[in-house]
Structure 1
């Protein structure tokens, strides 16, 4: 499962890239052990809401907003309609309707594709360059023990097909990066589930 997730409140699941999928919202409660992810009904979501989600996830602007693309509504379901102005920095900052929705037609879960911010930067094309991942802030990745097998996972998440090459680029000074171990990627986890903060002058260059 490819998942693009904000550490706080929203994620896109079952998509074909980091910035697409079925929208899920985390229900916030005072008891953090009782938090869960809820699907959103398409009838309660519009273009302005989509703009906020894509911005919150660091994924640019929305390009496709269509239900059923990434699976039907799964329980539990978000029960209120979002009423975003489009300028908010997070979906849960938007106003919501006072009344609760109790049902949602099959196939009517919000499916969202954002235009995307490149996960590969500084290369000759969209699918070449230094791998960066957003978790709060965008940081480059140091792939510990990576081979073409792990790189292929990253390329699929970025909707870039098969991997051709991988290499390390050394910088003159250390900076904050994400460390991703090869065994986590091999386990089938999405890249964002494998992030560890690290300081290094070595970063991953992919094509």
Structure 2
């Protein structure tokens, strides 16, 4: 998948999701006060040149709750509000992660919430239609962080910057999946945090 195709897929997927959290505007709590999916920063690149800046991170294996529903955020929020087999209320976490993947027929889009540490060993089973638990394998990603209110134009712009930076630095990455991560409530007006992730090529 080349850069043009990636950008097109992201745009179409965001449109089909009706703005659900790919725009980072539907998270319900300030990430400074909630649990964030754990990761280790391996290295930061080009910090002295912001337009080329990105970092490499390692995320350990972890449980997330996910859905491909067009009403994704509400479905996942219902799960953490008690719509699960145990009726357990689960704290909101960050980021809200969207995965846009290339398929034989075009693309697929999936939204996910990280399951908090206290529920990682035995997360309650979802009962909502189309909501599933998903164990993400350990992954190494290249991450481009940007502020402001995210939208299709911003995502495409920052994705292009990340791809340009990786190519410039001769970093190998996988082109079939694009991740967007949103951390903020719509009530947070300043110092907003949005991210684009691309998987590092393990070879």
TM-score, length basis structure 2: 0.26
| Higher RCO (C-alpha 8 Å, min separation 6) | 2
Higher share of residues assigned strand: 1
Higher share of residues assigned helix: 2
